[in-house]
Structure 1
Amino acid sequence: MLALIRYSVPGARADEFVGRATSILDTLAAQTGYLRGHVGRSVDEPDLWAVVSEWEGAGFYRRALSAARMEMYPLMTLMINEPSAFEVLVSKP
């Protein structure tokens, strides 16, 4: 399962965002079912950022969100409200 949470981050808050997003990934990485994660920024729109993680399944991701809630809270106002959980249908190495 792929989780993609997008954020609209003003340039002045970019450094803060990276630090907080890294803390979110650290918290997620400690949860059962976590496979890997990334923090990235759009090369075309520098205010568009993403926290991406891969999971063994949706249940693991949903439980991990509960554990990371306090880490995620400071960035909630920057979060783009859209679905974040995606089922992987095709994967290539």
Structure 2
Amino acid sequence: MLVVNRFRVPAAEGADFRDGLELARATLAERPGYRSGQIGRNLDDPELWVLTTTWEHVGAYRRALSSYEVKLHAVPLLSRALDEPSAYEPVEPGTDLNTAGARSLG
């Protein structure tokens, strides 16, 4: 599972934001199911930042967000993300894609 969080950050806040983003990524990396993560800044618009992380599955990501350490060191920064969907499924040749619909069995 791939998570893409984009942020719009004023240039004057860039250095502090980068430090916070690195702490958030490091904190997430300590959680079970984390596979990798990257921080990026847009080449054409340096106020646009991105944090991408990959996870074993959506449950691992959701459990990571509920951990105390992540709530303390990552969630405050993640709450600054642009308001847009952030969870993506990998699309590999020959795999079935997720379908929209209710997630409960009841």
What is the TM-score when the length of structure 1 is the normalising length?
A: 0.88
Distance (Å, rounded) in 2 between the aligned partners of 1:86 and 1:49? 18
SS at match of 1:7: strand
Distance (Å, rounded) in 1 between the aligned partners of 2:55 and 2:92? 15
Distance (Å, rounded) in 1 between the aligned partners of 2:24 and 2:83? 18
**Identity across the alignment (%):** 38
What is the TM-score when the length of structure 2 is the normalising length?
A: 0.78
Does the CA contact (< 8 Å) of 1:17 and 1:75 recur in 2?
no
Structure 2: any 5+ residue segments left out of the alignment? 94-106
Distance (Å, rounded) in 1 between the aligned partners of 2:39 and 2:5? 10
Distance (Å, rounded) in 2 between the aligned partners of 1:48 and 1:14? 10
Structure 1: any 5+ residue segments left out of the alignment? none
- Stretch deviating more after TM superposition (64-73 or 35-44): 64-73
For residues 28-74 of structure 1, the C-alpha deviation after alignment (integer angstroms, 9 at most, x for no partner) is 00000000101110111111101110111011011112222222314
SS at match of 1:80: coil
Does the CA contact (< 8 Å) of 2:38 and 2:53 recur in 1?
yes
Distance (Å, rounded) in 1 between the aligned partners of 2:65 and 2:42? 24
The structure with the largest helix share of the pair is 1
When the two chains are superposed, the root-mean-square deviation of aligned CA atoms in Å is: 1.5
- Stretch deviating more after TM superposition (1-10 or 67-76): 67-76
Runs of 4+ in 1 over 4 A off after TM superposition: none
Distance (Å, rounded) in 2 between the aligned partners of 1:90 and 1:9? 33
